[in-house]
Amino acid sequence: MDGLAFLIIKRLFYGLLTLLALSVIIFFMVELLPGDTATSLLAMGKTEETLAAMREQMGLDRPAVVRYFEWLGGVVQGDFGNSMVRGVHTSKGVSDMANVSVISIISERFMNTLFLATYAAVIAVPIAITLGVLIALLRNSVYDRIANVLTLTSISSPEFFLAYILILYLALKTGLFPAISTIKDDMTFFESLERTFLPALTLVLVCIAHMMRMTRAAIINLLASPYIEMAQMKGIPPWKVIVRHALPNAWAPIINVVALNLAYLITGVVLVEIVFVYPGIGQILVDAVTLRDFPVVQACCLIFATTFILLNLIADVVAIVTNPRLRHPK
């Protein structure tokens, strides 16, 4: 068991290291900018004195490394600093508050994004894996070819293309679902589900295609193993071969596929949110990028990237745990 625990700890440690490297990149990239935050804040009517005062007040006169650790310390406690652009981001109209804290801007919207991603994942994952396994079993048949062309088409289409087609046909022409997915606090759960059906469906379509292709490849790879042939030669019926011999070895590749696609969902959400005017973190990020509101950009990037890294980490740990060679060492 020692070897296994050691491997997992090593992987966790490595994940932590990646996160740190990431925070360094995200922090220091903004530092690379010509001028500093004070300069850009006081774009108009700045004098040397006001600049210096501002710098001191914001702590910009201290070395970047010190500020990095202060920033990191804050981030760990959920403090991402304050927005540099006044009030633009509040969802309840434009307000005049200066220096709104980043966390207050993004926290609620992050939950919305998570809701949408989870919604899509709950539909996409089971369907995609079932279809992927099925197509792998029917490999080289007509169905496999048809599925290949369909999934290829789906992953080749930009998300916004699919999204607008769905809006055009399922919302505007037929009126089955709302075209715009604004959600409010007082909505019931089912109302929100209906409201967000189209963005979720867009994500599901792209995601299923990706996942199906990857699951198919993983399963076919597995079915080529000599031990699968051995099981067939023992007279075991196909379904039992799959359940008893393929599945126990398929967890790692399947979890890997799922993690990769959940990670994809997290970012694919950005474009979909824009199309459907969905109040998620993606919208904030895009706005912040256009307005060059760096604290918000930093926070959003960090959140997205962390989710991405965590998902990959989980996949790797599952792969380690389910590997019989590691679970039962010599």
Partner 1 sequence: MSSENEIILDIKGLKIDGFTGEQWLPIVKGVNLQLNKGEVLGLIGESGAGKSTIGAASMGFSRDGTRVSGGTINFMGTELTTASESQKRKLWGAKIAYVAQSAAASFNPAHKIIDQHTEAPTHHNLFSKSDSESDAVDLYNRLKLPDPDQIGFRYPHQVSGGQLQRAMTAMAMSCRPDLIIFDEPTTALDVTTQIEVLASIRDIVDQFGTAAIYITHDLAVVAQMADKIKVLLKGEEVEEAPTERMMKSPKEEYTKSLWAVRSHQRKQKTRPENSDAFLSINSIDASYSNGPKVLDAVSFDIYKGTTVAVVGESGSGKSTAARCITGLLPPSTGKILLDGKELPSNFRDRSKDQLRQTQMIYQMADTALNPKVKVKEIIGRPAEFYEGFIGKDLDNRVDELLELIEMDPGEYRDRLPPELSGGQKQRIGIARALAANPSFIICDEITSALDQLVAEGILKLLDRLQNELDLTYMFITHDLATVRAIADEVVVMQNGKVVEQGPKTEMFTPPHHPYTDLLLSSIVEMDPNWLTTVIEKREGTSS
Partner 2 sequence: MSIHEIVLALSLVGFFGYALVSKKRDFVWISSIGILLTLWLKFLGWTGTLQFFGILIEVIIVSAILSYLYRSFLILVLPEKLSKEVSTAPLTAAFGLLMITIYAFVGIFGPALAPYGEAEVIADAFAFRNEEMLLGADQIGRDFFSRLIYGTRNTVGLALAATLAAFVVGTIGGLLAATQGGRLDQIMGRIADVIMSIPSLIFALLLLSILGPKWWVLIIAVGIIYAPRVFRLTRAVAGNIVVMDYIEAAKLRGEKNSYLIRKEILPNVTAPLVAEFGLEFCFVFLLIAGLSFLGLGLQPPTADWGSMVRENATLITYQDSTPLIPAAAIALLTISVNFVVDWVLFRSSGLKE
Pick the closer one to partner 2 by CB: 9 or 172.
172
Q: Is 16 in the site for partner 2 (CB under 8 A)?
A: no
CB atoms within 10 A of CB 157: 16
Cβ proximity to partner 1, 204 vs 246, nearer residue: 246
286 counts as binding partner 2 under rule CB under 8 A:
yes
Provide the 3-class DSSP secondary structure of residue 95: coil
Q: Which is nearer to partner 2, 219 or 262 (CB)?
A: 262
> Does position 10 bind partner 1 by CB under 8 A?
no
Residue 163 contacts residue 268 (beta carbons within 8 Å): no
**Is 312 one of the binding residues for partner 2 (CB under 8 A)?**
yes
Distance from C-alpha of 315 to C-alpha of 308, rounded to nearest angstrom: 11
Q: Which of partner 1, partner 2, none does residue 142 bind (CB under 5 to 8 Å by kind)?
A: partner 2
195 binds partner 1 (CB under 8 A): no
Q: Is 235 left (phi over 0), alpha (psi -120 to 50) or beta?
A: left
Smallest gap from Cβ 275 to partner 2, in A, equals 8
Q: How far is CA 126 from the centre of its chain?
A: 18
**Which partner from the list partner 1, partner 2, none does 233 bind, CB cut-off 5 to 8 Å by kind?**
partner 1
* 92 lies in the site for partner 1, by CB under 8 A: no
Beta bridge partners of 82: 101
Task: Find the binding residues for partner 2 in span 153-192 (CB under 8 A).
Answer: 153, 155-161, 164-165, 167-168, 172-173, 179
Cross-strand bridge partners of residue 101? 82
249 closest CA partner among 313, 306, 325, 184: 325
Measured from the CB of residue 124, what is the shortest distance to partner 2 in angstroms? 18
Distance from C-alpha of 262 to C-alpha of 220, rounded to nearest angstrom:
22
Q: What, of partner 2, partner 1, none, does residue 292 touch, CB below 5 to 8 Å by kind?
A: partner 2
- In whole angstroms, give the CA distance from residue 318 to residue 321: 5
**Taking CB within 5 to 8 Å according to partner kind, which of partner 1, partner 2, none is near residue 184?**
none
Q: 270 and 285 in contact (C-beta within 8 Å)?
A: yes
- DSSP 8-state code for residue 101: B
Number of Cβ within a 10 Å radius of residue 51: 17
Q: Exactly one of 120, 274, 299, 315 binds partner 2 (CB under 8 A); which one?
A: 274
CA distances from 155 to 190, 212, 330 (A): 29, 11, 44
Residue from 26, 198, 231, 265 touching partner 1 (CB under 8 A): that is 231
Chain residues that interact with partner 2, rule: CB under 8 A: 18, 21-22, 25-26, 29-30, 32-33, 141-143, 146, 148-149, 152-153, 155-161, 164-165, 167-168, 172-173, 179, 263, 266-267, 270-271, 274, 285-286, 288-290, 292, 294, 297, 300-301, 304-305, 308-309, 312
